[in-house]
Structure 1
Amino acid sequence: MHTIDISGQLFTSTMTVVIVGLMLFMSYRLQGSNRRQAFRSLLVSLVIILFYNLLQLAIAVNAAKPSAWIVFGGKLLQVYAFIVINFAIFELYHRRRPRTRLWLFGLLVVALVIGIADFMPDAPAEAAADLAVNVRTTPVLDGFMLLLSPLFALMFAPHIGQPRKYLASLFVSFASQLTIIVGAYGFAEPRGYGTLSGLLTVIYYCLLFLLLFERVVELLQSVYRSSITDGLTNLYNRRYFMGKLEQLVRSGRPHGVIFCDIDNFKRLNDTQGHHKADIVLKQVAAILTEETEGIGLAGRYGGEELVAIVAGPSSALMQTAEAIRARTEKESLVTVSVGVRLYEAGVTAEQLMKNADQAMYHSKTNGKNRVTDFAKLKGAS
């Protein structure tokens, strides 16, 4: 057991149990809805950390005796938990590969070998006395734990979405382990350094909690984004698009709908293949996204039919529609037939889409690669 006063140990272990408990609950809920290896690894490491700190709590309140085997097991658990949790954090951003698995199990084996070599006495006759001393002075295992922080900084920090926060946690962990070594091996008064180490440990788990919380938010945002967008074009899907259009209709604010259909798309599919057709579809989708940025939103209505909402008067609607048509002709292999419909009081979202579709069909049957305003069709009839 590291040298630390009882009150400091009690504070450190209590705070760590609370923080790790919250992280464990979050990881359990995530693992239940997303069966990724990262969440299983995170759960394993957090359970180990929780068990270790519950053991320290039991020792602090005299509910358990700090025997040599218990203290040695605690040291080894601490090293194992640190290794596994860092690999789990990495796997929150990247799937586990064979090389990553090799590094993980290699470090776990090295820690076990070092721990046993440090723990076992040199001579059988001195076993009883040496066990009590060796468990508190395992310099190689303590040094190994110290070196893990810079190793993980080099291995994982460049590949994690929150590198600064992750590096800060590793720095705090390094400082905590350094204070343990300074206090345990007689470089300074152990009591003060043990307390400082405990405080740094709490800070370390707070940083890990923040890192995990932000990753959970990122994952939830990603899940929400995927539920409202089309996977191929990254445009909003039909359900979300219609919901936004209905909101605008209810608000009564000026707006209009653009309905685009890629000309000769089936022929492109048949002659150049689905892969080329998908590339073209994404190009046209990108044009819609760029042209409606700041003034509306774009969606995929179905197949090669792309739609957009534009807020503002008729002039803005027609200008955007023409820009989409012209850019598609210039920047891609295809052209688009476009129909537009400006909102009028009493018109529903479904009627807006139907009328814009009718205007698009007029463009399609009258030469393609043109923009038709439904208002002119209605006036002509």
Structure 2
Amino acid sequence: MRPILDPHSRKHTGKSTNKRARLSSAFTRPSPLALSRDLHLFGIMLQAALPLKDALENLSHTSTNQTLQSTYAHMLAQMRSGASLQVAIAPFAHVFSPLGVALIQAGAESGNLPQILSALSSYFDQIAKTRASFLKALLYPIFVCVSIVIAFVVIAMFVIPNFAELFASFDVELPFSTRSLLAISWAMNELWWVWVGLLGVLALVLLLAQKSQILNENLKRMGFGIILRAPLVGKLLVYRDLWGYFLGFSYLYNAHIEFDKALPIALLSLQIPPVQKSIASVSDRISKGEALDRAFGACGYIDSSLRSFLATAQSSGELGEILGLCANYCQSMYEQQISRMLALIEPLSTIAIALVVGWLAFGIFLPIWELGSINL
């Protein structure tokens, strides 16, 4: 069995390299749902003994996603010029994901490509469903937070300055809530150029991060390091990442991919740098001969239930079934975290709105009430 090609490989030469680079940069990654549908159809056509090139040609005409249409057409052109499927799909890790490219390459190498495509279709379908549930969980709090921020900015910039002149005529010590509102209003009106400058610097950093892989990785590592410590959200992201890892690992194992090749390929499904680094160390320990349960037990992101499952796999030898069980467990825990977030979002949002409204009310009206300008 030949080594599986690295989906990130850039070892191409001549005009082919430039052409692929231009083509790759012109694409945006399609949705998981579009990938799921196309890969499912791809697998059905291959199971029906349709030649690989004919299947790609059909997909290049029937796919509903323009990025995928162009991808299939490019792959077909490469294969007609003599390239293998493994070589033709290698530049498109940004389309099919690194794990998807590695799995397709492994399936083509091992001869069970239809089964791999079916498994990938199920994987991307689950990704689409979990992404939809995650966005649904975040939609309401994001809407509430944005509404509160917009309302506060409008009040601070256009309403509070009118009260500032009135408060200055009182010649008395103002309460802390009023002083804090006046300070924020002054900062927003008089130091607006600072805020614009900060936004410009942030935009510049993000632009540089897109062009610099090192800076992008460092920013991602710092951001995820903070987010993973947050209650609920941290566990939610970890379980989502582990779900993809164990699911991809189980597909590879059940597709009879060699174990030492399946370990690094499964790592490609991990998106959070700290989790990826931790699981990579686990893979190194396993490749050196350490028992599966002991290697994963040293990972801080693996909870006691997963350790128990893996210990059972070590003793029973039913690794394929246990990996699927681990994937189902992580998915279940991920969905539980989303349910907990949804249960807390409404009361926390109500409390946040009440605190902001109370701060504005006390800050604006308390000095007036204390002076007896309004009879209650």
Whether TM-score is above 0.5 comes out as no
**Which is bigger in relative contact order (C-alpha 8 A, separation at least 6)?**
2
Which structure carries more helix by proportion?
2
TM-score by length of 1: 0.32
Which structure carries more strand by proportion?
1
TM-score by length of 2: 0.33
Max Rg structure = 1
